[in-house]
A and B are shown apart, each in its own frame.
Chain A
Amino acid sequence: MADTLDKNELSNVPEATSVPKKRRRLSAVWIIPIVAAIIGGWIAVQKYLSQGPTITIRFGTAEGLEAGTTKIKYNGVDIGTVSAITLSKDRKGVIVTAKMAAESKHLLVEDTQFWVVRARISGGTVSGLGTLLSGSYIGIEVGKSKDKRQAFTGLTVPPVVTGDVPGRFFLLKAENLGSLDYGTPIFFRRIQVGQVVGYDLDKDGRSITANVYIKAPYDQYVNPETRFWQASGIDVSLTANGITVRTESLVSIVIGGIAFETPAAAPVLPPAEPDTVFALFSDRSEAMKPPLGTPHTYVLVFRQSVRGLVPGAPVEISGIHIGEVVSIGMDFDMKTFGVTIPVTVKVYSELASERLVKGEQGPAPSDREHMLDKLVELGFRAQLRTGNYLTGALFIAFDLFPNAPGAKVDWSRQPVELPTTPGELEGIEQSLKNIVQKLDKLPLEAIGKDVRKALVTLNQTLTNADKLVKRFNTDLVPETKGAIIEARRTLEAAVRGLNSANTVFLGPDAPVQQEFRDTLQELGNAARALRVLADYLERHPESLVRGKKAAPLPAAVQHPAQNGGK
């Protein structure tokens, strides 16, 4: 085609304007890759420089950890990322490899601690809730050492106290953990002043030791006399004293807690040294009891049911707590085939001595023995008593029973046995039993037989009586009727007779009455004459011999006679 192209046509094409040639060896476009290379290189250098050390941390489990995702955070700042998780060679744990940021170099020292932060609700604080959604992360507590380290062993539980919070650590010994946990709050007058930072079972397995941390301004209130007790949640106890509910605060209700206080009576002491060991009491009343002193163990042998008596039940003297039941055993006496129950009790000597021997502090063993011998002689006996009728809880009371059968304390045996006396209820039971026994002895069967015999005889007698009555009815009654009619007639006749007699003797004009009246009048006159005579004879006794004189005073004598004569 080009060959056939008209030369004229081509010559007609206008000529391009020529421009002077600028010959550049290198195009300016090379700036672009150079700039890109510089930026890329700079970023690479930055990346390299920002890369910190790689560390390994040994954990028991990799639960919640993920290679490439799990971060290592110090005070919430990412300082590293887990890059790999592998099983340890002994297969007992996992080795977590983490790439740390360059600025974290100085954090990785000998005593730096690592732990896995998971959602945790304890110790009055809800922590790590974010980890529920974002996954766990590894927390770090920087040590104070200067020595660098690359391989660490992670903690199983996070340390509660992080950073340099001033305060003091103390140790609490308790029988059991109760509701304690890491982070359980410690209260002083209901202010939260510290936390439980750890606990461990003692080597002998008999108790636990809790490590507690008390913050700075409050640690000064802990002195050697301070008492700690478990304010664990709601403490409901059903004892011989009834139902007891104790709480420290709402937080402690939910998660438990420890409270401490120094008894007001205690002397003012300097604050306790760090790591002082305290006893952890189960409740406040126990904690605030005066020092108990050394306990003395005694055995009390009961021959009655101890249902309701539990280890820990109080031992009292006149209602004062002096000790507690330690254990309840059982013995079988092969001689009498009876069950005896040896109850071991712990009596605190200081308590008892303070109460029994006033003014004396801690009596010497001989004093104690002497005192107890004397008391036992006076009738000092242990008795089971009902503390709570609702629950049937029993306690042991010591008291004087002067009428109790004599007993002696054998001090050679260990533990020493103290005499007992049947309890109140047992006493009642015993008397009832006696009554029943007496009732038992009655020849009830014989009596019954006799009664039956008597009843048979009585029955016969009654039958006879019945017959008799019937005969009365048939034979005697008609005759009686006749007799009664006769009797009535006789009575009527008698009444008539009496009536006529009445008219004869008692009528106003009855001749008998008339005559009777006259007779009485005559009799009265006679009596008057006799009186006159008697009066005269009194004045003139000589007249009896000489006869009557002509007296000038006849009128006075005669007048009554005249009046009477009328």
Chain B
Amino acid sequence: MSPAWRSAAQLGLLNCEDCRLLSRAAPGMHEGRCPRCGAKLHFRKPNSIQRTWALVIAAAICYIPANLFPVMTTITPFSKSSDTIMEGVVLLWSPSSWPLSVVVFIASVTIPLAKLIALSYLLITVQRGSIKSNRERTRLYRMVAFIGRWSMLDVFVDTFVVALVQLQPLMSVGPGPGVLFFAAVVVFTMIAAETFDPRLIWNQSEVIYGRHS
């Protein structure tokens, strides 16, 4: 890592996120408004850690009912069965459709949980001022941000099935309360990934190296 690298913050420069105009921060100020488009300017996303923590905790809370409540209710003239995500995984776990079971398990159970853990890890390391494996942590962040848009797959499948399987007298499928919580988990983690400022990962090393320079 070359000490010659300088971040915008170190040079007291602000980049407008809307019009990309570069501006100088007023002395002693960390924030300001873009002189051209009037957008809010800041060296780092304000309250990033606090906001991300809030969203991560909210997602973690929602993760519990998302897995305990049924996501889909199938009604036939003879029965009414409600299945949670894990019950679906178990239901699919058969010699013929185990790959599907694995896909559902990974997409619906593992990934949201992994996102929550990853974000928590990033937050904790940033708060502790860790300077180790910054690159890896940044890559992890990118992965979390990338995967976010695909996490709604389950919700999409659920809405499609509910919309299509409405053969009223014979069979109908309705959403379970679990899918709402699941969607909340996905949305909260996506927003959390958005509110997390990856520049924070590098902050401490910048300070260190800044001091040196």
Contacts and interface: CB of A to CB of B under 8 A. Distances in A.
Interface in B22-49: 22-26, 29, 31-36, 38, 40-41, 47
Interface residues of B, number: 45
A444 to B, nearest CB: 89
B79 A133 contact: yes
Contacts of A36: 57-59, 61-62, 184, 188
12 contacts: A2-B11, A3-B6, A14-B35, A16-B25, A16-B31, A17-B34, A18-B29, A19-B32, A27-B47, A33-B61, A44-B65, A134-B78
Interface of A: 1-3, 5, 10, 13-19, 21, 24, 26-27, 29-30, 32-33, 35-37, 40, 43-44, 69, 130-135
Given A14-B36, A29-B54, 15 more contacts: A1-B4, A1-B5, A13-B13, A13-B22, A14-B21, A14-B23, A15-B24, A27-B47, A27-B51, A36-B61, A36-B184, A40-B61, A43-B69, A134-B76, A135-B79
Nearest to B16: A16
| Shortest beta-carbon contacts, A-B, top 5 | A16-B32, A2-B6, A134-B78, A33-B58, A17-B33
Contacts of A19: 31-33, 40
A44 B65 CA distance: 8
Contacts of B57: 33, 36-37
B26 A15 contact: yes
Contacts of B62: 36, 40
A16 B24 contact: yes
A150 B179 CA distance: 35
Nearest to B188: A32
B4 A40 contact: no
A130 B11 CA distance: 76
Nearest to B33: A17
Most A Cβ at <10 Å: residue of B26, B32, B79: B79
A120 to B, nearest CB: 16
A33 B31 contact: no
Interface in B168-195: 177, 184, 188, 195
A183 B151 CA distance: 57
A32 B35 CA distance: 33
B109 to A, nearest CB: 18
A419 B22 CA distance: 138
B95 interface: no
A13 B79 CA distance: 71
Interface of B: 4-6, 10-11, 13-14, 21-26, 29, 31-36, 38, 40-41, 47, 50-51, 54-55, 57-59, 61-62, 64-65, 69, 76-79, 81, 177, 184, 188, 195
A195 B79 CA distance: 29
Given A2-B4, A17-B35, A18-B32, A32 B65 contact: no
Contacts of B41: 16
Contact of B50 (A5, A14, A27): A27
A130 B76 CA distance: 11
Given A15-B35, A27-B47, A40 B64 contact: yes
Most A Cβ at <10 Å: residue of B14, B58, B59: B58
B150 to A, nearest CB: 22
Nearest to B80: A78
Given A17-B34, A33-B58, A3 B23 contact: no
Contacts of A1: 4-6
Contacts of A134: 76, 78-79
Contact of B23 (A15, A30, A132, A135): A15
A1 B36 CA distance: 27
A491 B76 CA distance: 136
Contacts of A130: 77-78
A30 B26 CA distance: 30
Contacts of B31: 16, 18-19, 21
Contact of B54 (A27, A133, A135): A27
A278 B162 CA distance: 60
Contact of A3 (B4, B47, B81, B195): B4
B23 A33 contact: no
B65 A43 contact: yes
Nearest to A69: B81
Given A15-B24, A17-B34, A133-B78, A29 B65 contact: no
B34 A16 contact: yes
A14 B32 CA distance: 12
A16 B188 contact: no
Contacts of B61: 33, 36-37, 40
B11 A16 contact: no
Given A29-B47, A40-B61, A43-B65, A16 B26 contact: yes
A13 B77 contact: no
A132 B78 CA distance: 9
Given A1-B6, A19-B31, A33-B61, A14 B24 contact: yes
B54 A30 contact: yes
Contacts of A35: 58
A270 B25 CA distance: 108
A33 B54 contact: yes
Contacts of A30: 50, 54
A29 B29 CA distance: 24
Contacts of B6: 1-3, 5
A219 B31 CA distance: 93
B55 A32 contact: yes
B52 to A, nearest CB: 9
B14 A32 contact: no
A36 B62 CA distance: 7
A65 to B, nearest CB: 14
Contact of A15 (B25, B50, B55): B25
Nearest to A134: B78
A277 B50 CA distance: 83
B10 A2 contact: yes
Given A30-B54, A36-B61, A40-B64, A16 B79 contact: no
